[in-house]
Structure 1
C-alpha cells in the first residue's frame, strides 16, 4: 500500500512530505517537528528547512485530509475482508479549546481512524448536526455487504443519532445512556432509569421500549447492570435485543479511549504540538492516522508470516 500510488496527488512534494512526517512520527514516537527532522534524508542541509516544510504542509489549505486518507482506509477495509466491523465514536479535548471528533474502526485490538473532524469548541459535548456528515462519509467507505455496529458513550446518547444510524445508515448500535433517561414500557408507563435500584452483580434486560419523552424513539432495547466488583452501573441502549453479550460488545469501545490517551499524553503527545489551528490539527491527525494504519498493517503481516 503505497501513498503515491493510492492517492491522486496534485503535487508529489506533498506526498513526500507526508511520508517524511509519518517516518518521523513512527521513529520518534512523539509529535515534534524538530525531532522528526533527524530521520529525514534529503539535499536540505539545515533541520530548520525541514521543520518549516512540515509546518507549511500542516497549514496548506490544498491538503484535503479526507480526500487523501479515504482511499487508504477503504483499501484496508476491503483487504481485511471482515463480514462485520465495529465503529467507535468519541471526542477528545485539546487545551480546552479544540474538540477532536473521531470515528475509528476496531481491528485486532487497535482503533484505526476512519474519519475525523477538528473544531474550535470549548466542550466535548457536540450535537448530531456537527458530525452527521462525517458519519455519512464514513458509510461510503464501508465495503458493500459488511455489517456495522456503532459504539459510543453517554455524550452520544441522542435519539436523533440513533434514528439516523438505524433508519438511514442501517447500522446497529450500542450506546451508553444517562441514568436520568426516561423510558416507556408497554403496560408499565414512563420511568427513569435511575429508578431501577440494581443490586451488585444484578442485570436487567428490557426489550422493545420507548426512549425519552422529548424526541421519542420506539423499538429499542436496554441492558442495565451493576458491576459486581466496582459497583458501577452500566446502562446501554441497543437497536437489537439485549443480553449479557451487549456489555461485551460495548466494552470494545474502551480501546479508543486508550488510543486517544496515547495520542494526547502517553505516546504521540498530540497536545505538545502546540498547533492552534483546527485545519492544521486535522492534517496532523492525518499523519497520525496513516502511521496507525501503517503499524496495524505491518503487525498483520508479521502475524500472517508467523514471526
Structure 2
C-alpha cells in the first residue's frame, strides 16, 4: 500500500499505542480514525471513497480493508484471521489518554445512548473540556430485552488495577442509573461515586437520630447542603454516604448527589461535569461522525467500529484542548448545565468547541504538509476547588482526614 507521509505518521502512532494488536488490526483502526476525521463521517462508503484515491487503491479494495476491521474472524479472507477484541484495547486506550495528562484527577461519566430502535450503547466516558471520549462501551440490540447490571459491572471491572496509586477519580451518573450495587462497584475500584438520586427519600445526618426528607435538606432555589450520614430508610436500600445538594436558580429540581467522599472534599457543582457526556453522544452522531446514518445491524461489529470512533474523537479533543489550554480561564459550571447549551468559562464563552477546533488544526496541518499534531490531555480545574488541579484535592482531603 502506497503511503501518504502524514497518514504513515498516524499509523505508526496507533500501532505503537496498541502493541497487543496485530498489524492489520492496528492499521485498520488508524485508517478508520484518520479517514473519519478527513471525511467528517464514520460512513464506510465515505471513508473508503476518501482513502482509496489518497492511497492509490480501488474503492472496493479499500472498502474491504476497512470492513475487515470490524468483521468476525470467519468472515475474513486468508489463513491468519483474527477479530478485533475491543475489551483488550481498553487498558492501552486509557493509558494513551493519560500519557502526559496534567494532574491526577479524572471525571468519568456513565450513560446510555440509543440509535433509533436498533442499538443501545452503554458508555463509560472520560469528560474533558466540555466534551467526552469513550473509554469502554457495550453495544446492545435495542429490540432485545437485556439486563444492564451485568454489563455495567463488566465494563467497570475492565479498569481494576489500571490506574496507579494517587489518582482521584469521580464517577458521575444521572438519576436513571442510580443503584446501590453501582455505588458499591465504583467504591470497590477505589474510585468515588458521584451519583445523582431522586428527591423522594430521606436522610439521617451523622450524629442525628431523626430522618428528614431530602426536600428539607435542599428546600428552595439557592440552597446548598453537604453532610455525612445515611440515605434511604429501607433495609435493602440504606446507604452510608455523603449527601451533597444544591438547587440552582431558575431550575425545576435540585441536584442531590451521593458520594463516599468526605463533605469537605467534594462539591455538588462537580455534578455539572456529567452533562459533557451528552456532547460526546452528539459528536458521535449529528455534530460529528454521523453514526445515525449507519446501516450496520450487527451489535458486535458496531462495538468494534466504536473503537475507531473513540480514537478519532480523542485525537480531536486532545489537539483542540491543548490549544484552548493556552488561554484558559476558570471554569464556571456552578449552575446545572443543559445539554447542548453554550459552555461558559469564567467571564468568557467557549465559542468554538475543542472538537471543532481540533479538527481545524489537524486539517490545517494536512494542507500545509506538516507533522500531524498529537497532544496530551490538559484538563481544566474542577469548579469550586481552591488552588490548582494538580495538588488541591489530595492536599485538602489529607489535611482534613477525609476519604480521598
**Given the two structures, how large is their TM-score scaled by the length of structure 1?**
0.86
- Check whether the contact 1:149–1:171 (CA below 8 A) recurs between aligned residues: yes
- Check whether the contact 1:93–1:123 (CA below 8 A) recurs between aligned residues: no
What residue is the counterpart of 1:187 in the other structure? 209
What residue is the counterpart of 1:231 in the other structure? 252
Q: Distance in 2 between matches of 1:300 and 1:231?
A: 32
Structure 2: runs of 5+ lacking an equivalent: 1-11, 74-82, 328-360, 362-404
- Check whether the contact 1:96–1:123 (CA below 8 A) recurs between aligned residues: no
Residue 26 of structure 1 aligns to a residue whose secondary structure is helix
Cα RMSD of the aligned pairs, angstroms, is 3.0
Query: Is the aligned partner of 1:144 residue 2:157?
Result: no
**Which structure shows the bigger proportion of residues in strand conformation?**
1
What residue is the counterpart of 1:52 in the other structure? 64
1:100 Cα deviation after fit: 0.9
Q: Distance in 1 between matches of 2:217 and 2:137?
A: 36
Q: Which moved more, 1:24-33 or 1:75-84?
A: 75-84
1:63 Cα deviation after fit: 0.7
1:71 Cα deviation after fit: 1.4
1:171 to 157, 173, 191: 191
2:311 to 290, 297, 303: 290
Structure 1: runs of 5+ lacking an equivalent: none
Q: Distance in 1 between matches of 2:37 and 2:147?
A: 31
Query: Is the aligned partner of 1:25 residue 2:46?
Result: no
**Given the two structures, how large is their TM-score scaled by the length of structure 2?**
0.67
1:277 to 298, 302, 310: 298
Superposed CA deviations along residues 276-299 of structure 1, whole A, max 9, x for unmatched, are: 111111111101111122223333
What residue is the counterpart of 2:270 in the other structure? 249
The 1:181/1:99 distance shift into structure 2, 3 A limit, reads farther
The 1:256/1:124 distance shift into structure 2, 3 A limit, reads farther
> How many aligned positions are there?
304
1:197 Cα deviation after fit: 7.5
Superposed CA deviations along residues 93-115 of structure 1, whole A, max 9, x for unmatched, are: 12234221111123344322221
Residue correspondence of structure 1 range 105-120 to structure 2 within 5 A? 105-120=126-141
The 1:65/1:228 distance shift into structure 2, 3 A limit, reads same
